[in-house]
Amino acid sequence: MNKTGSETRAFLNEFIPLVQDASNVDIVVAPPFTSIYAAAELLANTSIHLAAQDLFYEEKGAYTGEISPSMLTDSGCSHVIVGHSERRQYFKETDDILNRKTKIARKHDLNVIFCIGESLDEREAGKTFDVLDRQICEGLKDVPAVSIIVAYEPIWAIGTGKTATTEQAQDAHHYIRERLAALYGGAAGEIRILYGGSVTADNVDALMTCADVDGALVGGASLKADSFSRIVKFSKK
């Protein structure tokens, strides 16, 4: 919940020139609903994709305050985030709800960034893989692998300044890749797995050396054009 329409315009006017020479990377920005139109105008002639932070699981109707998938596509969105940890934590979104959201997003040809991750209590109890398995199997039930991106965001590393070590990130991503292969077979090879959890310009290079980390879901560090552009231009040694 950051940036008004005017703030979004100012951010993109600074950010776009900084990444115009970025290659071999897909860039997606996800402003609040009220800033989507402003972002769409500025991104129209760029290679940067536009995402929404959420959507509702019905086409239309008496759901005051909600946003439908067709509203997003009409506004210029090509992607949508589903199941962000904050939606799961603060708004009590269940695996069933997120499965419904994912299905309707794909029905409208929106690329889905599907978020999964465990809490600190779950990690310390040794339940990380059990949680990831449930979220994948129930959240992606009967959802084809096409245009699905999975984002692993350990809840204990979001907004806390803590980041999973490269070993922790790789272990989780490798497990996720195995579960996706079990669910989708060869089609799982097309699914990218992003890491999200206090990603910064200082740690992105190390995270991106992990064999099964395909990108980053960036939080606070994406609010400033210089730090976000540095993340986009990570150095994979």
For 197-206, write each residue's pLDDT tens digit.
889 999 999 9
Q: The CATH number of the domain where 175 resides is what?
A: 3.20.20.70
pLDDT band at 235, cuts 50/70/90?
Answer: confident
Give the pLDDT of residue 160: 73
Instruction: Tell me if 153 is assigned to some domain.
Output: yes
Please answer whether residues 138 and 99 qualify as being in contact, where contact means their C-beta atoms are separated by less than 8 angstroms: yes
The CA-atom distances, in angstroms, between 167 and each of 96, 101, 182, 209, 231 are 31, 32, 23, 11, 20
Instruction: Tell me if 93 is assigned to some domain.
Output: yes
Other C-beta atoms lying within 10 Å of the C-beta of residue 230: 19
Give the pLDDT of residue 224: 98
Query: Which position among 79, 86, 153, 173 bears the catalytic label?
Result: 153
Please answer whether residues 118 and 131 qualify as being in contact, where contact means their C-beta atoms are separated by less than 8 angstroms: yes
Instruction: Tell me if 78 is assigned to some domain.
Output: yes
Give the pLDDT of residue 81: 98
State the average pLDDT for the chain: 96
Amino acid identity, residue 195?
Y
The total domain count for the chain is 1
Give the pLDDT of residue 191: 97
For 147-173, write each residue's pLDDT tens digit.
999 999 998 887 777 778 999 999 999
d(CA 71, CA 181): 33
pLDDT band at 35, cuts 50/70/90?
Answer: very high
Instruction: Tell me if 228 is assigned to some domain.
Output: no
For 108-120, write each residue's pLDDT tens digit.
999 999 999 999 8
Instruction: Tell me if 230 is assigned to some domain.
Output: no
Residue 67: which domain range?
Answer: 50-219
Instruction: Tell me if 12 is assigned to some domain.
Output: no
Give the pLDDT of residue 156: 86
Question: Does 84 qualify as catalytic in the annotation?
Answer: yes
Token pair 């794909």 in the structure block, residue: 106
Residue 100 has pLDDT above 90, yes or no: yes
For 3-14, write each residue's pLDDT tens digit.
999 999 999 999
Instruction: Tell me if 111 is assigned to some domain.
Output: yes
d(CA 168, CA 24): 26
pLDDT band at 237, cuts 50/70/90?
Answer: low
Instruction: Tell me if 167 is assigned to some domain.
Output: yes
Query: Which position among 79, 84, 86, 93 bears the catalytic label?
Result: 84
For the chain, the residue count is 237
